[in-house]
Homo-oligomer: A and B are copies of this chain.
Amino acid sequence: MDHGQDLKSTIKRIAVEQFNRNGYHGTTIRTIAKEAECSLPMVYYYFSSKKDLFHEIIRKDYFHILDREAQKLKTTNILDFYTDFIVNVMNLDEHDRMVYRLGVKVYLSFDGDEDLLAVMEAWEASIVPRHYQLILPHLKDASNPKARVRTLMHLLENLIERVVVKNQTLVEQEIREELSIVLGL
C-alpha cells in the first residue's frame, strides 16, 4: 500500500505518452515500467495485458473526454456552439490531447483492433443524427441545408485533427469564419 492507485495512474499516464509517440507495437511494457520507475510486473499487477491497458485508455479515458466536452457546451447559438467546441478541445491539457489523439488514431484504424473501432463507429452513428437535429432548424433560409451539415461535420473533423493530431494552434476568429462560411451565416 505504498502508493496504491497512484502507481496505476502513473503507469497509464506514461503509457498514453508512449502509445502516442511510438504507437501500440512500438511501445513496450519494459519502457513503460522504466519511465514509470517501477518494475516490469507491476504493469501486469494493474493491467492484465498490454492490450487491456490500451483498451482501458480508449474505452474509459477517451470516451470520458468526449462526454465531458459535449456536456460543457450550451446550445444558445449554433456558431458559438461549434466554435466553443473546437476552442475547448484546443484548451485541453496535454495529457487529454494525447488521449484524444490516440482515439483519433483508432478511429482512422491506424491502431487498435476491430473491437475498439466498432465501439467508435457505434458512437459516431449515434452522434451524426444529433448534429442534423441541432443544426437544420437554424438553416431554414440557407440553400442546400443537408449539404451544409455534411460539410460542417467534415470541417469539424479536420479542425479537431489539426488541433489534437498535428498539435496546431488555431485562432478562434478564424475558426468562427470557417464555420460561418459553411453554415452560410
Contacts and interface: CB of A to CB of B under 8 A. Distances in A.
Contact of A23 (B23, B162, B165): B23
Contact of A178 (B150, B166, B174): B150
Contact of A158 (B26, B109, B157, B184): B157
A89 interface: no
Interface string A117-152: 000000000000000000000000000100110110
Contacts of A22: 25
Interface string A19-41: 00011111000000000000000
From DSSP, what is the main secondary structure of chain A's interface residues? helix
B110 A23 contact: yes
A111 interface: yes
A152 to B, nearest CB: 9
Range for the number of chain A residues in contact with chain B? 20 to 34
A147 B165 contact: no
Nearest to A142: B181
A151 B155 contact: yes
Given A23-B25, A151-B178, 13 more contacts: A23-B23, A23-B110, A24-B25, A24-B26, A25-B25, A105-B110, A110-B110, A147-B177, A147-B178, A150-B174, A151-B177, A157-B158, A181-B184
In the A-B complex, list the 7 residue pairs whose CB atoms are closest, starting with the nearest: A25-B25, A147-B177, A158-B158, A25-B26, A151-B178, A154-B158, A110-B110
5 contacts: A22-B25, A23-B111, A157-B158, A158-B158, A181-B182
